[in-house]
Structure 1
Amino acid sequence: MEMRRLVTAMGALLYGLLACQLHAVAAEKPEELTVAKVPPYSPHRVFVTDVSFASMTDARVHVFDGDTRRFLGEIDAGFAPGFTISPDHKTSYVATTYFSRGSHGARTDVVEIIDNATLEVTGEIEIPAKHGQTVPTPYSTILSEDGSRLYVSNITPSTSVTVIDTAAKKVLGEIDTDGCVLAYPSGNDRFSALCESGKALTVRLDAAGKEASRKLSDAFIDVDKDPAFINAVRDGNQYVFTTFLGNVRTVDFSGDAPVFGTSWSLLSDQERKAGWRPGGLQQTALNTTSHRLYVAMHKGADGSHKEPGTEIWVYDTQTRKRVSRWDLAKQKIDPLLAIQVSTDEKPLFYGLTPTSDLVVLDATTGKRQHVEKQLGTTSTLLLNP
C-alpha cells in the first residue's frame, strides 16, 4: 500500500513538472530563422580567400571589417576558387569546381554570383571544366574595368581564358593564350597574359567577346636572372611588378603596344648585400591616393621568395624613394605572408601570418590596430580590398 502511494505521488509530481514545462514552452514565441544583412559597404572591408590543404574541396572566403574589427561572415567557395569583387562592391564572383562525390567523381565548374549584402549565392554560370586550380591570385578570376566581363583562367595543362558576360550571365567564348597564363585586364576590351619567356600576350576582344587581335610583347622580365612575382598591383593603366631580387617593373597594356617603365630598385647596394628581398604569397600592396607602395621584405637567399616578410617597407611611387620601414617584431607581430591596403584617404593596412592571423595596422604610421587570431585554417590566403 505504501509503495503504491509513493508511485502515485511520484507520478503526480512528474506530471506536474511536465505540465509546467509545456506551459512555459507554449508561452514562448517560436524561434524564427533570419538572414542578417552585412553592414553597408566600407572601404575597410577585407575579403580573405582561404584554401585549406587539409580540405581543398571546402575553401572559404572570410569577410572582416577593419573599422568595427568584427568577423562579418563567410562565403563557401568550393575547390581551389578564384575570387573577385565587382567595381560597385555589391557583388562577388567565385570561380570554382565541384565533384559529384566530394573529392572525386563527375566534375562541374561554375562561377557563383554572391550578393555582398547577405553573402548568399544568387545565381551561377556553368563554365568549361578546366578553370585553373592554383594557389589563389587576383588574376586567375578578374573583371574588366566596368565589370561587364569576367575572365577566368584555365589550365588543362594547355592555357586559355574563359570570357563571361556578367549581365547576361553567359559564357561568350574561350581564348587560347598559347602557353601564357592569368589575365591582366586593360579597360573593357582586352587582357594580357604572362608568358614563360618573360613576354606578355595581349588579346583585344570585339563587341561579342570574341578575339579581334593579339600581340606578343618583347620580354620585360628576365626569367632566368630575376623572375617577377605574378601578383602585381595596379596604378591606373599601369601594372607594377616586383621581382625576386627587389626590382620594380611597370607596364601599361592599354594601348596597341605595351609601354614599359624604367626599372628601379627597392634596395640600396648595402641592403642587397645584406640579403634583403621581397617574399611571401602576396608581397605588395598599393594605395593609389597616397602613391604608397607597401612591400613585405625578409632577409634570404636565392629560392626564399616564398618566405614571409619580417618588415614592411613603404615607398613613394612618384619619387621612388622609401619613406618608412616597419619592423613587425617590435610590435609583436609575426612575419606576414600576404598584405593588402585599403584604397581610401585614411587607409588601413592588412597582413596575414602563416598561422592565419589577420593583422590590421594604420597604413600611414604602421601602428598596430588589431590582430584577429586564426581567421583562416591555412597559410594559402589572399586579401581583397
Structure 2
Amino acid sequence: MKHRRLAAATGALFYGLLACQPHAGAAEKPEELTVAKVPPYNPHRVYVADVSFASMTDARVHVFDGDSKRFVGEIDGGFAPGFAISPDHKTSYVATTYFARGGHGARTDVVEIIDNTTLDVTGEIVIPAKHAQAVPTPYNTTLSDDGSRLFVSNITPSTSVTVIDTATKKVVGEIDTDGCVLAYPTGNDRFTALCESGKALTVKLDATGKEASRKLSEAFIDVEKDPAFVNAVRDANRYVFTTFNGRVRTADFSGDTPTFGTPWSLLSDQERKAGWRPGGLQQTAFHAAGHRLYVAMHKGVDGSHKEPGTEIWIYDTESKKRVARWELAKQKIDPLLAIQVSTDDKPLFYGLTPTSDLVVLDAATGKRQHVEKQLGSTSTLLLNP
C-alpha cells in the first residue's frame, strides 16, 4: 500500500541517520519500520475522495476516523476515480484509468479491489477504456443493494454503463444508456440514469447481468428553469433530489414505472427573496433513521450553485419543515463544499472546506468536534458506508 505520509517519514528518517552516524564501534539497534493495521470498522469512518486538478493522474481516497479523530490511511485512485464501498464495509472498489507514461501513452481502465482491513489492493478487473473521467460523484461507480453487481458509468462522449459481477470479478456486459448518465441503483437488479431532458432511464437486469428491459420516465426535473443537483441522497428506495433554486423532489425507481413525490420548497418567500439557495459539489446529506435532510446553503444568484455553504439547514423530511439552522462562522468554520452524515444512532456530520479541511460536527446539535487541516489537496467528495 502506498502511503505518502509513511514515505515522507521514511525519507526524513533516512536523512536523519546520515547526519547522525554513530561513532566507530558503537552498537546501534537497527530501526524497524512497520505498517499499522487499520482499526476495526466503525460507522464514523469517512472516505474522502481527493482529485487534484494540478495532478489529475494521482488521485487518492483518504480514510479518516471520526471517533479517534485520526487519519487512518489512504487508497490510491489513479486518474479521476469512481469509488464505491460494499454493503458489508469490507471491500472498496476504485474504477479508474492509468496511462503507460503517466499522463499519456497506452490507456488501461480497471476496477481495483481494496481490502478495507488493510487498504491493500487485492485484485483488479480490466474494464472497457470508457470510464467517465469527471469530478467525483457518488453515482459514477455504484453497487447493487446486495453488492453483487458493480455499475461503472462511461462517457466517450457516448454514454453507457459497464456491469461487473463482483463474485466472479468479470465484466458481464455494457449497457447503452442513450445519452443518459450515471447509475442510481435500486434493489439488486436495476439502475437508473439521468437524462438531459429531465427524464430518467431505468434499466432492469436479468440473472446474468444483461439488460432485460428499460423504461423512460416522464420529465420530473425542469432542466431549463430549475435544474437539479446530480448528488441526490437516498431514503430506502427513494432518491431525494435538490434543485438549484431550493426545491426538493423524490424519485422511486424500484417499480416497473417510476413514481415521483410532490415537490416542496426549502425556502420561505422571504428567504428566497434574500437569495438563499443550496450550493457546493455535494450539497446534501441524509440521516434515514432520523428523517433528517442536511443542506449546505449560501446567499447567491443564478449560476452560484457551486458556491460552498455558509450555513447548514436541517429539515424533517416527514413534516417537510426546517428544524435547525447552523451558522458555520459562529464556530469559526469556513464554508463547506461537500457534506455527509454517518448512518448510526449517534451520527456525526462531516464537511469539506474549499481548502480541504475536514470538519467534524455533532449531527444532532451542530457542535464542532474536530477540524483536520488540509486532508489532501483538492478534496471533493465525502463517502460514508
Tell me which residue corresponds to 1:39.
Answer: 39
Q: Partners of 1:321 and 1:205 in 2: how far apart? A: 38
Amino acid at match of 2:303: G
Q: Partners of 1:78 and 1:98 in 2: how far apart? A: 6
Tell me which residue corresponds to 2:100.
Answer: 100
Q: Partners of 2:383 and 2:148 in 1: how far apart? A: 23
Deviation at 1:31, TM superposition (A): 4.5
Deviation at 1:160, TM superposition (A): 0.1
Q: Does 2:316 correspond to 1:316?
A: yes
Amino acid at match of 1:276: W
Tell me which residue corresponds to 1:372.
Answer: 372
Q: Partners of 2:99 and 2:24 in 1: how far apart? A: 51
Q: Secondary structure at the match of 1:270?
A: helix
Deviation at 1:376, TM superposition (A): 1.3
Q: Does 2:302 correspond to 1:302?
A: yes
The 5 Å alignment of 1:54-93 reads 54-93=54-93
> What does the per-residue CA deviation read over 1:33-80, in whole Å, with 9 as the maximum and x for residues that have no partner?
443211110100000000000110000100000000000010011000
Q: Partners of 1:196 and 1:20 in 2: how far apart? A: 75
User: Does the CA-based 8 Å contact 1:339-1:383 persist in structure 2?
Assistant: no
Q: Partners of 2:48 and 2:316 in 1: how far apart? A: 26
Q: Secondary structure at the match of 1:196?
A: coil
Amino acid at match of 1:305: H
Between the aligned residues of both structures, percent identity stands at 84
User: Does the CA-based 8 Å contact 1:339-1:351 persist in structure 2?
Assistant: yes
Tell me which residue corresponds to 1:350.
Answer: 350
Amino acid at match of 2:102: G
Q: Partners of 2:179 and 2:156 in 1: how far apart? A: 11
Q: Secondary structure at the match of 1:354?
A: coil
Over the aligned positions, Cα root-mean-square deviation in angstroms equals 1.0
How many residue pairs get aligned? The number is 364
User: Does the CA-based 8 Å contact 2:153-2:182 persist in structure 1?
Assistant: yes
User: Does the CA-based 8 Å contact 1:186-1:253 persist in structure 2?
Assistant: yes
User: Does the CA-based 8 Å contact 1:359-1:371 persist in structure 2?
Assistant: yes
Amino acid at match of 2:255: G
Tell me which residue corresponds to 1:20.
Answer: 25
Amino acid at match of 1:66: G
* Unaligned residue ranges in structure 1 (runs of 5+): 1-16
Q: Partners of 2:257 and 2:23 in 1: how far apart? A: 82
Asked which structure has the greater CA Rg, the reply is 1
Q: Secondary structure at the match of 1:330?
A: helix
> What does the per-residue CA deviation read over 1:136-187, in whole Å, with 9 as the maximum and x for residues that have no partner?
0000000000000000000000000000000100000000000000000010
Q: Partners of 1:90 and 1:103 in 2: how far apart? A: 31
Tell me which residue corresponds to 2:148.
Answer: 148
Q: Partners of 2:380 and 2:236 in 1: how far apart? A: 28
Amino acid at match of 1:94: V
TM-score, normalised relative to structure 1? 0.93
User: Does the CA-based 8 Å contact 1:136-1:382 persist in structure 2?
Assistant: no
Amino acid at match of 2:342: S
The 5 Å alignment of 1:164-175 reads 164-175=164-175
